[in-house]
Structure 1
Amino acid sequence: MQSPIVIIGVGEMGGVFSRGLLRLGVPLYPVTRNTDMGELAAALPSPEVVVVAVGEADLQPLLGQLPSVWKDRLCLLQNELLPADLAGIEHPTVISVWFEKKKGMDTKVIIPSPLYGPRAGLIADALGALDIPTRILQNDAELLFELVLKNLYILTSNIAGLRTGGAVGELWQEHQGFCRQLANEVIDLQEALSGAQFDREALIQSMKRAFDGDPEHKCMGRSAPARLTRALEHGQRLGLELPLMHEIHAEQTHD
């Protein structure tokens, strides 16, 4: 029998990973809000992987409660991850998720989802069983670029959508100057948060390819105002001006 897998969070995204893993014939143990993780960890101290499928707002509180025997076998899939969020986690597997799953709808792929880490092959096989494309990265630098790219896509489209509404295809076609200006502020923030520098045009062109992968994807989700507030809080802490973000925030405050 294959080694068991633990999955923490069984919402829409957790359900996708669960179905893929079950199709591989892997024993799967779900963790819900009512599960005693200490008790389960005592029974399963060495699972093959612990897939953490909670939302980004719940990630850090969860990591603080996680049994220590599981901390060297995590797979993380949250948005807005950067290396600082992985501090203290040994050899994590990370996937930048580029598919969407909402209640009552099939999984919708935008572009292949990049994976990195010791369990990347297993997760790629599980998603492949659902016809969800992935690609495995080769090193830490590639992972950092992909994490920043996903953050760029989410923050640029969400924050821009607070002003323009509409879909990402319209954002690029009709408001490209505005989109680029905002994207550069997001990159300023990502560079300050990560302590690294990036090829800005390569990031923006990669973001455009993601826009092209699903041009009807709506810019502004429910999390957009919170993402803008969080970005400005990071900017203030890091001494960044972010003038366009402040303009958009002021527009929202006065509405």
Structure 2
Amino acid sequence: MNNHPLQDIFVIGLGELGSVFARGALKLGYRVTPVLRHSDLQALANSAQPKAVIVCVGEQDLAQTLNQLPTAWHDKLVLIQNELLPKDFQHLAIAPTVISVWFEKKKGMDSKLVQASPVYGPLAGLVTQLLASLDLAAYPLTNATELEYQLALKNVYILTTNIAGLVVGGDVAGLAQQHPALLAEVVADVMQLQQAQINQTLVTDQVMQDLLTAFDGDPTHKCMGRSAPARLARALQQANALGLAVPTLRKITTQTQAQTQA
């Protein structure tokens, strides 16, 4: 139990994932303060010194949200977004705590664990405690290089399953077992995209092994979510900006566009 029950944890974005972290904070005895779109951030920063500021907005809103945050919060930040890489937060005055979330939370269902979520940063211990209070496994990483790899791996999982799902639908077990060639081709393109944005070399065999381990954690996980077309579009925009070939992503883009127009 937390020894300071009135200490605040601010949560920016009370969607499905935000509600999970808020509930974990409440169970540990923290006072949860929601930060809404119309909230005066500077007034909040002046009125309280929160233990943590958990940013749960969607990935498309993250850059704008970070630009609006008071500098005093930078060392309190916890980021949980998908499609996240160190380049997205390296401009902050102090490195935030970052978690690669490996549980799913959708409306009307309880949290579904895929595998333990790695977390790195000054508040890693707090984050693992919040999730442990909800029986959601998480573990601290020892350095920023490990975090970079884990973020890239999660991006490979999210982008590969969503983009391949646009072609074959189904679940991740079916993708691995019935469409191994497509899986390998999409992984190669997505790895190329991640590789161009990080400071370490990704090894194909290691990434594929870790990806299949994640598949085993939730084999019936559906490949194609509602965000799949937008994820493909963002991936292609990034590839164009970086001058990457990504032939399979371009082929799938052409196929999906033809299906939409048919």
Question: Which residue number corresponds to residue 65 of structure 1?
Answer: 68
Q: Which runs of 4+ in 1 moved over 3 A?
A: none
1:235 deviates by 1.0
1:196 deviates by 2.6
User: Aligned equivalents of 2:242 and 2:87: distance in 1?
Assistant: 14
For residues 44-75 of structure 1, give each alpha carbon's deviation from its aligned partner in whole angstroms, at most 9, with x where no partner exists: 1x311110011111111111111121122100
For residues 141-198 of structure 1, give each alpha carbon's deviation from its aligned partner in whole angstroms, at most 9, with x where no partner exists: 1101100000000010000001001011100000011101110111011001114311
User: Aligned equivalents of 1:65 and 1:136: distance in 2?
Assistant: 28
Question: Which residue number corresponds to residue 50 of structure 1?
Answer: 53
User: Aligned equivalents of 1:85 and 1:91: distance in 2?
Assistant: 11
TM-score, length basis structure 2: 0.94
Question: Which residue number corresponds to residue 82 of structure 1?
Answer: 85
Question: Which residue number corresponds to residue 106 of structure 1?
Answer: 110
For residues 188-223 of structure 1, give each alpha carbon's deviation from its aligned partner in whole angstroms, at most 9, with x where no partner exists: 110011143111111111011111111111101111
User: Aligned equivalents of 1:146 and 1:195: distance in 2?
Assistant: 13
AA aligned opposite 1:139? N
User: Aligned equivalents of 1:91 and 1:252: distance in 2?
Assistant: 39
Contact preservation (8 Å) 1:5, 1:28: yes
Q: Does 1:15 align with 2:26?
A: no
User: Aligned equivalents of 1:102 and 1:158: distance in 2?
Assistant: 16
User: Aligned equivalents of 2:208 and 2:196: distance in 1?
Assistant: 17
AA aligned opposite 1:58? D
1:234 deviates by 1.0
User: Aligned equivalents of 1:99 and 1:32: distance in 2?
Assistant: 24
Question: SS of the residue aligned with 2:75?
Answer: coil
Q: Does 1:198 align with 2:202?
A: yes
Match for 2:154 among 145, 150, 156?
150
Question: Which residue number corresponds to residue 164 of structure 1?
Answer: 168
1:42 deviates by 1.2
For residues 5-42 of structure 1, give each alpha carbon's deviation from its aligned partner in whole angstroms, at most 9, with x where no partner exists: 11111111111001111111112211112322121111
Contact preservation (8 Å) 1:160, 1:182: yes
User: Aligned equivalents of 1:125 and 1:195: distance in 2?
Assistant: 30
User: Aligned equivalents of 2:242 and 2:15: distance in 1?
Assistant: 34
Identical pairs, percent: 48
Contact preservation (8 Å) 2:14, 2:56: yes
Aligned pair count reads 254
Question: Which residue number corresponds to residue 9 of structure 2?
Answer: 5
Question: SS of the residue aligned with 1:91?
Answer: coil
Alignment RMSD (CA, Å): 1.0
Question: SS of the residue aligned with 1:88?
Answer: coil
User: Aligned equivalents of 2:191 and 2:167: distance in 1?
Assistant: 19
Residue segments in structure 1 that go unaligned for 5+ positions in a row: none
